[in-house]
């Protein structure tokens, strides 16, 4: 059976806790191996990956990553905010363009959700 593929789009820093709760709750209802989940952060939301005050949420993200959730950061946004890719947490993957990534993944059958 084909996996259910879901893309979460986060474009504002404030939305992160809600987005992570969304994914946590969703994973209570489905088996990890039945879904493919990606979160694309673009615009100001990329700053969150660098916020060391958010230890608990970073741990939550790292834990979700180990369960197969892909966390992506838009390179355009990183550059616009002068953020260094090498300082990203290791569970984050850089994508050249956040919108391009979202379009590509929706074209591949991902369901779009804006938390």
Q: Which residues bind a copy of itself (CB under 8 A)?
A: 4, 6, 9, 11, 18, 21-23, 25-26, 28-30, 42-43, 74, 76, 80, 96-100, 102-103, 106-107, 111-115
Distance in Å, CB of 74 to a copy of itself, minimum = 8
Give whichever of 25 and 52 is closer to a copy of itself, judged by the CB atom: 25
CB-nearer residue toward a copy of itself: 88 or 113 = 113
Shortest reach from residue 51's CB to a copy of itself, in Å? 19
> In which element (H, E) is residue 61 found?
helix 55-66
Farthest-apart Cα atoms in the chain, separation: 43
**Closest CB to a copy of itself among residues 33, 107:** 107
Report how far apart, in Å, the C-alpha atoms of 101 and of each of 9, 31, 53, 110 are.
10, 25, 28, 11
CB of 100 to a copy of itself, least distance (A): 4
Distance CA 112, CA 40 (A): 11
Asked if 6 contacts 113 with a C-beta cutoff of 8 angstroms, the reply is yes
Whole-angstrom Cα distance, residue 74 to residue 85?
10
Residue 23 CB, nearest approach to a copy of itself (Å): 8
């Amino acid at each position: 059976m084909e996996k259910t593929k879901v893309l979460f789009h986060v474009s504002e820093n404030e939305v992160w806790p809600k987005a992570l709760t969304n994914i946590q709750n969703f994973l209570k209802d489905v088996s990890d191996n039945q879904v493919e989940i990606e979160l694309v952060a673009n615009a100001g939301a990329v700053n969150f990956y660098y916020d060391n005050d958010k230890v608990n949420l970073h741990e939550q993200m790292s834990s979700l990553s180990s369960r197969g959730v892909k966390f992506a950061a838009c390179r355009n946004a990183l550059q616009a905010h002068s953020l260094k890719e090498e300082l990203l947490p290791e569970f984050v993957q850089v994508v050249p363009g956040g919108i391009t990534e979202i379009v590509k993944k929706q074209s591949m059958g991902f369901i779009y959700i804006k938390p």
